[in-house]
Amino acid sequence: MPSMTTPRNDTSAGRFELWRETVRRSFVPLEALPGEARDFHASLHTAHLGAVQVSVVTAQPHGIIHTPRHIAADQPDFVKVSLQLAGRCRLAQADRQTELAPGELAVYDTRRPYSLDFDLPYRMLVLMFPRALLRLTDQELARLNATAISCRAGLGPVVQPFLRGLANQVRELECLGSPQVADSAVDLVGTLLAQHSRASHTLEADGREVLRQRIFTYMEQRLADPELGPDRVAAAHHISRRYLYKLLAEQGHTVSGWIRERRLTQCRRDLTDPALAHLPVGAVGSRWGYPDPAQFSHTFKAAYGVSPRDARTTGYV
């Protein structure tokens, strides 16, 4: 069905039922949900260029859902790339939600549930093609799913006019175009997405490093607190223990191991410092988070092979 416009001589409910069947047959299996529009109208124009389907959707407010029951085991592995031309769209997939404004695009995976919600009249370009054509890794695609990507920076100002041109010529594409046109569209979009994925990955990595350094600083400043541990560190940074462990594991540390190592390093320094010779051995341990002298002695000897007292006496650890 390359072109369809809801008829004027039908009821709004009748037009919506026709629309529901049209989108179900034109894309992967999905369900259209009625919005609050009193007088529903919509149109769909589609061109097939090789393995790429180019569609322009214009419609009154409504919703779209693609649920697990719509996903068959033998369903082709397609992705969709949507460019918002007018109106707005709320897109959700994989516990992520974003809102597309005009000039923004998003990619979503048809092998996973998703939903689209339009609360205003809208116009959208939709490219649908086999996942393999995108040439993104699974990690890159997962990073980009349901993320609004602006066409105002990077390659966006190059990609957006090309896609808008496809949208404006969609009725003539099959006559005027060729599969090479679709290949160019996919290549341009794929390059834009890859660029955005790399930038997102860099920001994510930079953000992790900043957080990790904050955690190290926090722990360093609280080594004297016997209660310092994973729960307190995670709560102070509003993250889960699991994520805390992951952050430190990326640099080969455990939380408890890092705290123990830093405490013992400070204890060893103080025990061999002549200026602190007046402090009892137990007091040295206490000032670095070991209030129990027996535990301090056991932990120190396990790490260095000598007791704290012997370390002080010999001046060598």
Q: Does 197 have pLDDT greater than 80?
A: no
pLDDT(5) > 60: yes
Closest CA relative to residue 48, chosen from 185, 192, 188, 190: 185
Residue 37: DSSP 8-state = -
Both tokens of residue 210?
Answer: 């900043």
Cα gap 171→46, rounded to integer Å: 7
pLDDT tens profile 33-51? 998 878 899 999 999 988 8
Question: Domain 3-178's class?
Answer: mainly beta
Q: Where are the domains of the chain?
A: 3-178
Q: What is the largest CA-CA distance in the chain?
A: 101
Taken in order 298, 304, 306, 312, the sign of the CA dihedral is: negative
pLDDT of residue 174: 77
Pairing of strands 149-150, 104-109: antiparallel
Rounded CA-CA distance 127/105 in Å is: 11
CA distance linking residue 293 with residue 308, whole number of Å: 10
pLDDT in tens, 142-167: 888 888 998 887 788 989 999 999 99
How far apart are alpha carbons 229 and 219 in whole angstroms? 9
> Would you state the pLDDT for residue 98?
93
Provide the sign of the torsion angle of the four alpha carbons 29, 45, 32, 113, taken in this order: positive
**Per-residue pLDDT tens over the stretch 84-112:** 999 999 999 988 899 999 999 999 999 99
- What pLDDT is stored for residue 203 in this prediction? 47
Query: Are residues 29 and 66 in contact, defined by beta-carbon separation less than 8 angstroms?
Result: yes
Q: Average of pLDDT values for 292-298?
A: 93
Q: Which of 69, 89, 82, 62 is nearest to 29 (CA)?
A: 69
